[in-house]
Amino acid sequence: MTLSKKPLKGMRELTPAEKRVEDYIVGKLREAGAVYGFEEYETPVLEPLELFLAKSGNELAVKQSYNFPDKGGRKLIMRPELTPSLARMVAAAGELIYPVKWMSFPVCYRYERPQRGRVREFMQFNLDILGVSGLDAELEVFLVLRRIMNSLGASPGQYIIRYSSRRLASEILSSCGMTEEEMAQAYAVIDKKDKLKPDEWEELVRETVKNERNADTVMKFASCSDPDSSWLRETAGGSEAYDELVKFSGMLKYAGITEAQFDAGVVRGLDYYTGIVFEVSDTGSKNRRAICGGGRYDNLVGMFGGQKVTGVGFGLGLLTLELFLKTYDLIPGGISGKHPVDIFLAVYSDEERTFAVNLAEKLRNAGVSVEIDITGKNLSKQFKIADRKLIGYVAVIGPVEAASGRITLKNMISGTETECEVSEVPGILIEGNLCEEAN
């Protein structure tokens, strides 16, 4: 029997070229978080199932997850999201300095049918502010999101940060007499608005929300895209939730976050949101899945007992972000193909090998990355390897070089040759790079 050469469907396998693209994106995300003072943490992939049953709900924790009993019969889950583990960590930490500003890059698992933008093993970027109940926390999260998109080269017209208020939605729907259960059903329907045609969606609303007046309210609410719209003002004006929404909308204006837009149709799927909710998405039609989704939750650690902890946070899918960047051709061309080595040292014969190996070590000590030939093949084959690996400079180490200690650097693009001392190499490389950038 020969084994399959493919990984399991939907799993994350990255060649060096693909890894460089992911590293580029991870680097930008990390940088964006760091300049606001977010710190990285990490939680396990394998968790007790009960933690996710309590926090993520049955749909995500059981139906859409990889879960199994261990050899001792304990029910385990491969995390489908990060938040329950964050809650556990915060509950366990004796003393934290609030506001806690944490970020993480968890690999998560969902047992779903793979499709564009959705796989079974995926890396996420999670960012949370804990212990702040005012809207300044939401504003900071929006600033981080804008910085992320800017730093990756996205222009404001290409993406949109849509936000709404779970609190406002709950206030309006409960005031027309809907029960908690009916409201949860209504959120699920609102969440489908963008995925269906208008008449299909209306039909679904009428099927789900039996009371005709309530169905009208759900549709009217979900279609609001201006906090100042007359229907919204008449229905909710003067309530705390409405005032909060108007205030937040003003804060976004003052901070110049023009990419953000109110859209009551954004309610987000997860149960634990209680205030402002938001998502980042492509304004074009190619990427239907949100790049990022998040919101305010008011009692992160409740189920562990102890004090209430409020928070605002989001999860951002690296795959959906990458698809977005590819759509707008925003991944710098050189990244995936760039080989990280400065110099290839070709070795003339075994006689010079000891000299060459020690020379390579000296260069590396000076911060130069060096690939030395280890195949023992002839020089022309060695040059071919350097060429195929796209290495910028080659130096041949032969009897002359071993005797004199001086080497000749050949620029593989221009063909220029420079004879120099080993100590001069770093300077020549820097100069060479400057020339290339200037061209």
Side-chain half-sphere CA neighbours of 241 within 13 A:
20
Indicate which single residue of 60, 61, 127, 139 sits in contact with its own copies (rule: CB under 8 A).
139
**Residue 161 interacts with its own copies (CB under 8 A): yes or no:** no
Stretch that binds its own copies, among 28-36, 183-191, 192-200, 276-284 (CB under 8 A): 28-36
Residue 58: C-alpha distances to residues 51, 63, 80, 222 (Å):
11, 7, 12, 26
Q: Does 26 bind its own copies (CB under 8 A)?
A: no
- Count Cβ neighbours within 10 Å for each residue of 132-141 and write b for 16 or more, e otherwise: beebebbbbb
Among 210, 212, 238, 305, binds its own copies (CB under 8 A): 305
Radius of gyration for the alpha carbons in the chain, expressed in angstroms and rounded: 28
Question: What residue spans of 94-197 are helical by DSSP H?
Answer: 136-151, 166-175, 180-190
DSSP 60: I
Q: Does 2 bind its own copies (CB under 8 A)?
A: yes
CB count within 10 Å of CB 325 equals: 22
Shortest Å distance, C-beta 128 to its own copies: 12
Tokens of 250: 């003003």
Q: Is 41 in the site for its own copies (CB under 8 A)?
A: yes
Query: Is the distance from CB of 24 to CB of 321 less than 8 angstroms?
Result: no
Residue with Cβ nearer its own copies (68 or 231): 68
Binds its own copies (CB under 8 A): choice among 24, 26, 48, 196 = 48
4 HSE (CA, 13 A, CB side)? 4
Contact 296, 277 (CB under 8 A): yes
Cα gap 284→343, rounded to integer Å: 43
Verify binding: residue 94, its own copies, rule CB under 8 A: no
| Interface region with its own copies, contact rule CB under 8 A, candidates 104-112, 211-219, 235-243, 397-405 | 104-112
**How many residues touch its own copies (CB under 8 A)?**
96
Can you tell me which of 21, 219, 370, 395 binds its own copies, judged by CB under 8 A?
Answer: 370
> What sign for the dihedral angle of Cα 194, 196, 199, 204?
negative
- Asked if 36 touches its own copies (CB under 8 A), the answer is yes
Identified binder of its own copies from the candidate list 97, 212, 437, 439, rule CB under 8 A? 97
The Cα–Cα gap between 193 and 205 comes to 9
The residue from 92, 184, 400, 434 that contacts its own copies (CB under 8 A) is 92
187 touches its own copies by CB under 8 A: no
Q: What minimum distance in Å lies between the beta carbon of 217 and its own copies?
A: 34
Contact with its own copies (CB under 8 A): which of 73, 238, 256, 333? 256
Which residues inside 68-87 make contact with its own copies, applying CB under 8 A? 68-71, 74, 76, 78, 85
**Which position among 230, 285, 307, 375 is part of the footprint of its own copies (CB under 8 A)?**
375
